[in-house]
Amino acid sequence: MTHPALCADSVAVVTGGASGIGLAAATKFAGMGMRLAIVDSAEDKLDTVATCLRDAGAADVMVAPIDVSERDQIVAFEAEVTDRFGGTDILMNNAGIGASSSCLGPLDAWQSILGVNLWGAIHGTQVFAPGMVRRGRPGAIINTGSKQGITTPPGNPAYNVSKSALKTFTEALAHELRNTGGSQITAHLLIPGFVFTGITGLSEKPQAAWTAEQTAEFFIERMNCGDFYILCPDNDVPRKLDEKRMAWAMGDIIENRPALSRWHPDFSDAFAAFVDTND
């Protein structure tokens, strides 16, 4: 089984495509012979990225330095892509930032994180998707979420909120697309594990982390299998443990436990026992 949009005839737009998961995914698309449109705020990297993607097999590459939180920039870029390539078949809303935040402020951290991680994907989808549907071809919209948007661990609430909201948005998008007459566009939520990219702030890859290339390879494999939730493992956390953590998070509501009880001292033993069960 192969997703019909993953072919040489497709046009793929990737935001945050100059590094990390975005560049790894764009490189996979290039290897399929696609035409690529790459967006990133790191203007100094774009020419090198374009050359690398052409060398990897892309039929053609266009790049643009864009802030995805600014809708007008996305609108202008969509028009340029349509003018050059005739339309878009794959949209990967991948651009993301992870500055520190607190529930009590500061406001600018919240605005910047939500602006890129959530509004960037909403802008991209609302601007590109109508034309993708009208194009009448198989296509896909991939939004890069995070496990933190599901288990919402303490430490960076603005990032968690952005990815949690993106999960909800992408679920609703999948439902709308499959109920839109004439649409051949699928939606997918990419849920990376621990991946060594610039957003981690680390200078060397930890043993526990996957590379961006491993993540892109897994994402393509699961997209070909038709997955909506593309839940990635890493070198430290297998899928079974992810499932336990996610089930416990939902259980906080069902069992009326305290918020984020996984990190509450009164529930540490109960969570450990839950993880150790075989069911």
DSSP state of 210: B
CA–CA gap between residue 121 and residue 118 (Å, rounded): 5
CA–CA gap between residue 202 and residue 196 (Å, rounded): 8
Partners of 35 in the beta sheet? 11, 60
229 carries an active-site annotation = no
Q: Which of 163, 32, 49, 3 is nearest to 95 (CA)?
A: 163
Q: Which of 212, 210, 211, 232 is nearest to 221 (CA)?
A: 232
Choose, from 85, 128, 159, 219, the residue flagged as catalytic: 159
Helices (H), 66-156: 71-85, 107-117, 119-135, 148-151
In this structure, how many other beta carbons lie within 10 angstroms of the beta carbon of residue 247?
A: 13
Residues that are catalytic = 159
